Amino acid sequence: MKLEIQNLVYRAGGRTLMDDISLVSDSAHCTALLGANGAGKSLLLRLCHGLLEPAAGRIRWDARPPRELGAAITMVFQKPVLLRRSARANVEHALYLQGAPRAARRARAAAALELAGLEDCMERQAAVLSGGQQQRLAIARAWALKPAVILMDEPTSKLDVRSAAQVERTIGELRREGIKIILTSHNLAQVRRLCGEVVFLHEGRLVQQDAMDDFFARPADDIICEFIEAQTF
């Protein structure tokens, strides 16, 4: 699904938090949103999802606004919001809300949990899963809705190396299925492994959008060079 953003502006509390952002990202790319804390990465995800409305400009997915797309766009938050139920029930409840028939809910939930490597955790309570397992459960729940796009806010933040690798493998499976993924990250090695495109934001403005290799080979601004250096050491 192709993303087009034109002259996007977002204001809150009398401040302009996103200023005149325009970009186009096609469906083939896994896109990383990079930038320092406060750059506007998470805010841009929420605008792309339709959770927030811009003050000016527009966002279109295949020429349609986010609010018209329903479950075709899903979002996985940095700290997943999970129900006090089993892993399977968390996925099945999302499918119930989508209107999936009872018979289909169980099969799709099982397939989603298997995709995320959680087939042995189906009946365990979500609250007792590790941080990495909870993140993979949130991704499985999103995938079960059969979206065209999944937005991910720091999907491996605060996870240990093994858990982060498992989440990355799950993201890789989603990419192979042709799902458009946009994620925020401070992990440059992860971006190199997963992404084909980078969008760099600074203080609510777009500084550079480029193919991943070109972005790291030819940073467009000293701000980007400083960011890369800071994240490398």
What is the CATH classification number for the domain harbouring 31? 3.40.50.300
3-state SS assignment for residue 24: strand
Distance in angstroms (rounded) separating the CA atoms of residues 103 and 120: 21
Beta carbons of 25 and 199 less than 8 angstroms apart: yes
Structural domain of 193? 1-69+183-233
Beta carbons of 31 and 64 less than 8 angstroms apart: no
Q: Residue 233's pLDDT is what?
A: 56
Query: Could you tell me whether strands 56-61 and 73-76 are parallel, antiparallel, or unpaired per DSSP bridges?
Result: unpaired
| Residue 168 in tokens | 């990355």
Q: Residue 44's pLDDT is what?
A: 97
Q: One digit per residue, pLDDT tens: the chain, 233 residues? A: 899 999 999 999 999 999 999 999 987 779 999 999 999 999 999 999 999 999 999 999 999 999 999 889 999 998 888 999 999 999 999 999 999 998 899 999 999 999 899 999 999 999 999 999 999 999 999 999 999 999 999 998 878 888 889 889 889 888 888 999 999 998 899 999 999 999 999 999 999 999 999 999 999 999 999 999 988 65
Q: Residue 224's pLDDT is what?
A: 96
Per the domain annotation, does 119 fall within a domain? no
Per the domain annotation, does 85 fall within a domain? no
Beta carbons of 57 and 6 less than 8 angstroms apart: yes
| Residue 142 in tokens | 């999103």
| Residue 10 in tokens | 């977002």
Residue type for 113, please? L
Tell which residue, 116, 121, 123, 102, has the closest CA to residue 144.
116
Residue ranges in 75-187 assigned as alpha helix (H): 87-98, 102-115, 131-144, 161-176
Beta carbons of 61 and 69 less than 8 angstroms apart: yes
Distance in angstroms (rounded) separating the CA atoms of residues 192 and 212: 7
Per the domain annotation, does 40 fall within a domain? yes
Per the domain annotation, does 36 fall within a domain? yes
- As for how many domains the chain has, the answer is 1
Per the domain annotation, does 167 fall within a domain? no
Per the domain annotation, does 2 fall within a domain? yes
pTM for the full predicted model: 0.92
Residue ranges in 35-130 assigned as alpha helix (H): 41-49, 87-98, 102-115
